[in-house]
Amino acid sequence: MKVLCCLLWAIGLRCCVANVTQCVLSSAPLLGYNISLCNTTSGALTANECRVVCEEHYAGQARAECEIDGGEFLISGCAQPHDFDVYNMEHHGWSRQFIVHVPPSVAAGGPAAGLVLFFHGATQTNVDACAKGARGLGGSANFSFDAVLNADQHDFIAVCPQGIGGVQSGWNSETCCGVPPALQIDDVGFTRALLDRLQHEILPSDYGVAFPSENVFAFGFSNGGLFAYRLGCEVSDRIHGIACVGAAWDWSFLPENPLPSWSATCRSGVPVWSGIGTADYFTNASLATSKWREYSKQVLECNSTEEVTNPATDVECSSFLRCGKGDTGRSRLCLYGGMRHRVRTMETAYDWEATSSAWNFLTETVCDAGALRAGRLAHAVCVAVGAALLLAMTRVGA
């Protein structure tokens, strides 16, 4: 198969399988990048030749910029994202971009089961985080949450913001990573403003859809995962749960990086699903486990027995299913044996995919878990007793 290569733009050399006419873009931002030039080299390159060009250009970097999927090269920003709508907004002098996917069932009038914000890792893009399952949307498959497929399956709205910084993009977790901490980008404020715009403008006006009243989550990978922890602490009035992949609570990925100050003052966290590989080169399994227990016990106030299960081969999950007031909180850490700093490998190699597993865990209540064993009547009784207990505790607190 002949591949037209290469695409030269503001952040470097990448590969593109699409016809060059599909790649000719204006200088306006598309998916977070300013495209400066799109042209072919002297003669079409084969797939293998194109791979060599990309790998040589990005030698030494811990990411696959040139990746084959089904015999085709995928590229961030190379084609219009047909499954997403692209939006831009101004926040504190910065032009911020995000993409939105509303499932067909929700767009047709069905209520949204929730909304998930997907935060990419450092040096990556919202395309990397939300690709795979979106027609015409490229990105690196290694870091994909497969947002469209999961949103359509679970009826939640998927929103994928883009971090500031181009090739050094990321999220301001205070001590790591990329451009945002150095420039003191207000990513927490941007997230609040983004939720406001979705609730009051985009969803009702553009889609005729109500903003979900529950199950508003922040899912993130690597630096995006650490930022999700920060949102769980500082935006707990808007964010109901988080999923952190390749990241640990109160850990900035390298020993020489200082710990964030916001973790020390966090007093109101949200339920968490966390997943990490035992071969992750930024966080070892022992550290990830101890940090997860620290968040669970000190922030979520989990006092129940820690339960250990093996939902898939080479996957071990530790869980606290009753945390905080009314036992409504929960926390889970899944260790993937031998996995490196990845997201999509959780599905392709372990059959325990991050997005679906996290969504199911965060939306399942203690009563739901009990119903699996005791039946529907027990579930109804559990819900009624739990509601009465929470009401009584609220009155006592008042």
Domain with 304 in it: 85-364
Give whole-number Cα distances, 342 to 145, 150, 230, 246, in Å.
Answer: 10, 18, 21, 7
pLDDT tens digits, 247-277: 999 999 999 999 999 999 998 899 999 999 9
Same domain, yes or no: 283 and 381: no
Mean of per-residue pLDDT scores for the chain: 76
Position with higher pLDDT, 72 vs 369: 369
In this structure, what token pair is assigned to residue 287? 């550290």
Residue 77's pLDDT band, with cuts at 50, 70 and 90, is: very low
Of the three residues 73, 98, 133, the one that is the final residue of a domain is 73
Same domain, yes or no: 18 and 105: no
Question: Is the pLDDT score of 62 beyond 70?
Answer: no
pLDDT value of residue 142: 81
- Amino acid, res. 172: N
Instruction: Compute the average pLDDT of residues 304-312.
Output: 95
- Amino acid, res. 248: A
Same domain, yes or no: 155 and 301: yes
pLDDT tens digits, 3-26: 333 332 222 323 332 322 222 222
Same domain, yes or no: 173 and 26: no
In sequence order, what are the beta bridge partners of 319?
A: 307, 332
Same domain, yes or no: 68 and 180: no
pLDDT tens digits, 339-348: 999 998 898 8
Number of domains in the chain: 3
User: Residue 347: inside a domain, yes or no?
Assistant: yes
Same domain, yes or no: 230 and 91: yes
- Residue 28 has a CB neighbour count (10 Å cut-off) of 8
pLDDT tens digits, 84-124: 899 999 999 999 999 999 999 999 998 999 999 999 999 98
Question: Is the pLDDT score of 356 beyond 90?
Answer: yes
* Short-list 369, 117, 339, CA closest to 231: 117
Same domain, yes or no: 13 and 49: yes
Residue 367's pLDDT band, with cuts at 50, 70 and 90, is: low
pLDDT value of residue 390: 42
What's phi and psi for 225, nearest 5 deg? -70, -40
Instruction: Compute the average pLDDT of residues 290-299.
Output: 97
